[in-house]
Amino acid sequence: MPASSPNLRAFLDANPLVARVEVTDAKGSTPREAGTWMLVAPAAIFGTVGGGQLEFMAIDKAREMLAPESPPASAPSPEENKDRRSGAGPAAPLIRPFGAPTPRERGEGGAGALLDIPLGPEIGQCCGGRVGLAISVVDDGVRAVLMAETEAEDARLPAVYVFGGGHVGHALAQTLALLPVRATIVETRADAILDFPLDIETRLTAVPEEIVREAPAGSAFVVLTHDHALDFLIVAEALRRTDTAYVGMIGSATKKATFKSWYLKNAGGSEDAFARLVCPIGGDAVRDKRPAVIAALAAAEILAALATA
């Protein structure tokens, strides 16, 4: 689940008891950098601090802090560790450096627990670095701070506007929902903006060209509506801007040639502006027209364009 504000709010609303795991120090080769965090509830998690045994250990400790006080947990036996390395045993940490949580470790009074974890054979990882983790129970104040910080991060993400909520639009939305972008689906049909991921904004408008004009500088525009004439109007509007990161249109070589003829003769377009159009989206190296494949290829293309804009 990506750390967008709608997903975070849904997670916090569904889980009244939550602990935060934050990477405080990352030395050498580590899966994530300092400042990365995840949330752990008794039966769910939000985000990741890098996966593997490191994350299993963090989740175990966080859930110990959330649970009622219990007898100290014994360290796994050598045979249990052997089973876990081979995959025969349960997916749990190889080393449990803490026993029963104290009131301080459970986060009472705003305190928490600290873990200093070497990423070596001792825990079944081979990164070779060392990670410091801070784990604390999340109170109402921290919830508010997390929401405010995540909303601010969302606002800084590059904007991607997808015009068209058909099969490819849905597939592209599913893909973009996993990526560090702020995606919006724009449609002229009310029944075509249903069932999109929680963190994908939808806009219903009779004049989609206005969305192009209002978009922030550096935006990406992907045009794949149900109507070729509407596609042409939206693309022409996008190409009028000189501050876009990406302008793409779904279609074939024939559609691109038809658009070029119309654009140069009737829309006041130029050869230089037309040269900025990506069509077909996702390129033509993979000849597979399934929506999920087109979406994956187009998403990679859009990310590359945003990274170099």
27 and 144 within one domain: yes
CATH of the domain at 243: 3.40.50.720
163 and 140 within one domain: no
pLDDT at 287 (0 to 100): 85
Instruction: Read off the DSSP letter of residue 262.
Output: H
Provide the number of structural domains found in the chain: 2
pTM (2 d.p.) = 0.72
Among residues of the chain, what percentage have pLDDT more than 70?
83
Domain boundary among 117, 152, 187: 152
Reported confidence tier of residue 124, pLDDT bands at 50, 70, 90:
low
291 and 162 within one domain: yes
pLDDT at 53 (0 to 100): 85
b/e burial code for range 199-238 (CB count within 10 A of at least 16 → b): bbebeeeeebbebbeebeeebbbbbbbeeeebbbbbbbbb
Domain boundary among 152, 180, 210: 152
pLDDT at 93 (0 to 100): 36
Among residues of the chain, what percentage have pLDDT more than 90?
66
Query: In terms of residue numbers, what domain contains 69?
Result: 5-152
234 and 116 within one domain: no
Per residue in 287-300, pLDDT (tens digit) is 899 999 999 999 99
Per residue in 221-272, pLDDT (tens digit) is 999 999 999 999 999 999 999 999 999 999 999 999 999 999 999 999 999 9
Domain boundary among 152, 176, 201: 152
53 and 11 within one domain: yes
b/e burial code for range 134-143 (CB count within 10 A of at least 16 → b): ebbbbeeeeb
